[in-house]
A and B are shown apart, each in its own frame.
Chain A
Amino acid sequence: MEYDHILIRYGELALKGKNMKNFIGQLRRNLQSVLKSFTNIKIKRSQGRMYILLNGEDPEPIIAECQKVFGIYSLSLAIKVDNNETSIKEGALFALSTQHHAHTFKVAVRRVDKSFPTGSQEMNQILGGYLLKHTENLTVDVHHPDTEIKVEIRNEGTFITAAVYQGAGGLPVGTAGKSLLMLSGGIDSPVAGYLMMKRGVQLEMIHFHSPPFTSERAKQKVMELTEVLTNFGGSIRVHLVPFTALQQEIFRTIPERYAMTVMRRVMLQISEKVCARENIKAMVTGESLGQVASQTLGSMNVINEVTNYPVLRPLVSFDKEDIIRYSRQIGTYDISIRPYEDCCTVFVPKSPATNPTRSVIHQCELKADFQPLITEAIEDIEIITIEQKSSTQTGEDFTDLL
């Protein structure tokens, strides 16, 4: 006997009423995309559940992939048997036998198929007795068991599971529409993107680069960060904005201490135009309140003035330590800390204004007209789609060498 199914339990999306159908369809598509390298599997839906039919595939790597997919509350390896007592007994014994660490167990039977002759309470006792008789050194503990043997008798068959694996929670990516993440290459923005994805948002990236002040390496870093994030929700488009000319113009016309603020305003204007063009509803930044000069409430107030699109800041209340912890967990930290100049670090004024006001900035901007350069930058945007790589691929294709 061996496990032939992975059972997937939905998170809160099971509560979502009329939208539920969309949510489940999206989750299924996301799973299919993540698991495309496992060619034998089949994903099936059933009431309130999803199943992956393993068809002989090794379950461990599949579970590991599924644990990254948002919208899954938990997963279990399951064995499917016919709806008769003998088969169910054997299946339950098999499931228990895979739990090497367990000293105590509990049986929990759910009878969804009411045509099954034995009630769930009675089945609990029958199975408990059978398992005790056929194992050694195991006892029943109904309150704090080391493992719980769950038996669901459904119309299509009986599913028996033992261990429960935690899912990533959240909502399936794509169910909440699109947002544009301003991705600099630092530690914060990928984490912000991750948290939005967790709420079902599909991301597109916008990155401002200023060659030759920023290097090819900085761009590569952004691509790699994006690639990590594709692990959580499929391919992502990156809008690369050529920013050199604008940045030079800003620092030529605006007093040094306000240049950073103005630069942010320009970035946000460009982002808004990209949103409008791509039918994206909101922007996301990795700003955390008070972290640096441009992330004070005063700065946010001035910067935010240029757009009436929602600017979502999921990290606004986070401590740096918490952001770093997330960043390590999702695997972006080691990429983020690579020391390449990005557009925000190239022209850092010695003492940026920490509390600019709208009126002062308006005064500064009177002397300049960025619109032609903004239009030009938008026209010259390069769009690159980063595909999700399966766990067996190594990014760029070096297969002829490796």
Chain B
Amino acid sequence: MIYLDNSATTKPDDTVIESFKKVSQQYFANPSSIHKAGADVEKLQTAARNQAAQLLDVKPKEIIFTSGGTEGNNLAIKGTALQYQQRGKHIITTEIEHASVYETVKSLEQFGFEVTLLPVDQDGHVKLEDLKKSIRDDTILVSVMCVNNEIGTVQPIKEIGKLLRNYPKIAFHVDAVQAIGKVAIDIQNSFIDLCTLSGHKINGLKGTGILYKNKNKQLFPLLHGGNQEYGIRSGTENVAGNVSLVRALRLTKSKEKENQVIFNELNKQLREGLKEIPGININSPLNAAKHIMHISANGLKPETVIHDLFEKGFVISTQSACSSKASDKSRVLIACGKSDEIATSGLRISLSHTTTTEEINNFIDALSDTINTLRQLLEVDKHGI
């Protein structure tokens, strides 16, 4: 199987699993227990937190371990909304956010929050002027994803951060789930207040994640209880998960530069190969993150393409895994002004740093073959023979 659905999830690294296993077996005590066994686990948890902070160039107390991207985004948004609703009830985000931001923000409308959705251009970029115009006295939160999960568009996070720096009442949240390890993200110098990361997108395990929270910002907890994670996220710590996540983060970070070179090469090869296939539209802009390639095969149902490719041993996906069951039309592509035809026939190829050029070549051949075959079948259908 050639796995090209790495934006949906990645294969956990062996050493990450090893780490999870070891911690589960040897450090299973509750870190809040006062006995020595608890103290040892607490030390390990602290070491993990310190290392995460160091890898992200932030303070240890700014690291909140979560269960992943969806929780991180929910906590950042609802936590800010509840905490600062006295200051205002206006939230700004974009039309192309991941469902865990988009739906969360929408859900707050029933509690009297107002939401401004920033439009995007055909490549999926938000404009700073649009953001600036949308800011009001009662704006408390701006949430913009770093790398779009469907088409890979990279937003101007640093510029947005610099703009929002002039509005100390506004918290700046960045969903960096698709960005970490792929696109350089500088939390401090981009003046980010809240930043969501997920473990299973970086060869870590499902159920692990980090929300970075600037030490000067407060969040109203979604989970109350034993005051773990500085009282912001109660619940007995998933120490094994957290440790494994930090290992995955270290592996990703240590190879960030060389992986970027790999992704650049693979992306170039893939893009050139795709151009050769008639009837394929490339929807990812040239300056998108290099690990995501979004295409549409005009006139062909994405499911059919995916199933046929799977038969040939290649795994790719439609839109994003999280919303592929919901509607046929991609909200992201519609927001980019694409036609309904393109928006319903999206295919996403997402790469791993372990993907090889040979795999890309084989994939291009397979895709070309699939599309030819399916087109011919459709032609036959049309002529009723």
Cβ contact within 8 Å between B47 and A398: yes
A401-B19, A401-B23 are contacts. A394–B35 as well, Cβ < 8 Å?
no
Cβ contact within 8 Å between B34 and A217: yes
How far, in whole Å, are A400 and B35 apart by their CA atoms in the complex?
A: 24
Shortest Cβ distance from residue A61 to the other chain B in the assembled complex, whole angstroms? 10
Shortest Cβ distance from residue A176 to the other chain B in the assembled complex, whole angstroms? 32
CB neighbours (8 Å) of A398 from chain B are 43-44, 47-48, 243
* Smallest CB gap from A396: residue in B: B43
CB neighbours (8 Å) of B250 from chain A are 402
CB neighbours (8 Å) of A400 from chain B are 19, 22
Contact bitstring A196-222, B, C-beta under 8 A = 1, else 0:
000000000000000000011100100
Cβ contact within 8 Å between A394 and B47: yes
* Smallest CB gap from A397: residue in B: B47
Cβ contact within 8 Å between B243 and A394: no
How far, in whole Å, are A334 and B35 apart by their CA atoms in the complex?
A: 20
* Smallest CB gap from B50: residue in A: A394
A394-B51, A398-B44 are contacts. A217–B246 as well, Cβ < 8 Å?
no
Cβ contact within 8 Å between B44 and A401: yes
Shortest Cβ distance from residue B64 to the other chain A in the assembled complex, whole angstroms? 15
CB neighbours (8 Å) of B39 from chain A are 216-217, 220
Asked if A347 is an interface residue, CB under 8 A from chain B, the answer is: no
How many A residues face the partner with a CB closer than 8 A?
15
How far, in whole Å, are A340 and B23 apart by their CA atoms in the complex?
A: 26
Shortest Cβ distance from residue B205 to the other chain A in the assembled complex, whole angstroms? 14
Cβ contact within 8 Å between A402 and B19: yes
CB neighbours (8 Å) of A40 from chain B are none
Q: Which of B46, B61, B247 contacts A401 (CB 8 A)?
A: B247
Asked if B36 is an interface residue, CB under 8 A from chain A, the answer is: yes
How far, in whole Å, are A216 and B38 apart by their CA atoms in the complex?
A: 10
Cβ contact within 8 Å between B54 and A215: no
CB neighbours (8 Å) of B47 from chain A are 394-396, 398, 402
Among A215, A391, A401: residue with most chain B CB under 10 A: A401
Cβ contact within 8 Å between B19 and A334: no
Asked if A392 is an interface residue, CB under 8 A from chain B, the answer is: yes
* Smallest CB gap from B40: residue in A: A396
How far, in whole Å, are A220 and B51 apart by their CA atoms in the complex?
A: 20
Q: Which of B34, B35, B51, B61 contacts A402 (CB 8 A)?
A: B51
Shortest Cβ distance from residue B310 to the other chain A in the assembled complex, whole angstroms? 36
Shortest Cβ distance from residue B52 to the other chain A in the assembled complex, whole angstroms? 9
How far, in whole Å, are A253 and B34 apart by their CA atoms in the complex?
A: 31
Q: Which of B48, B51, B61, B246 contacts A334 (CB 8 A)?
A: B61
> Would you give 28 A-B contacts (Cβ < 8 Å), ordered by A?
A215-B34, A215-B35, A216-B35, A216-B39, A217-B34, A217-B39, A220-B39, A220-B43, A334-B61, A340-B34, A394-B50, A394-B51, A395-B43, A395-B46, A395-B50, A396-B43, A396-B47, A398-B43, A398-B44, A398-B48, A398-B243, A400-B22, A401-B22, A401-B243, A401-B247, A402-B48, A402-B51, A402-B246
Beyond A401-B22, A402-B247, list 16 extra A-B contacts (CB 8 Å). A215-B34, A216-B35, A217-B34, A340-B34, A394-B51, A395-B43, A395-B47, A395-B50, A398-B43, A400-B19, A400-B22, A401-B19, A402-B19, A402-B243, A402-B246, A402-B250
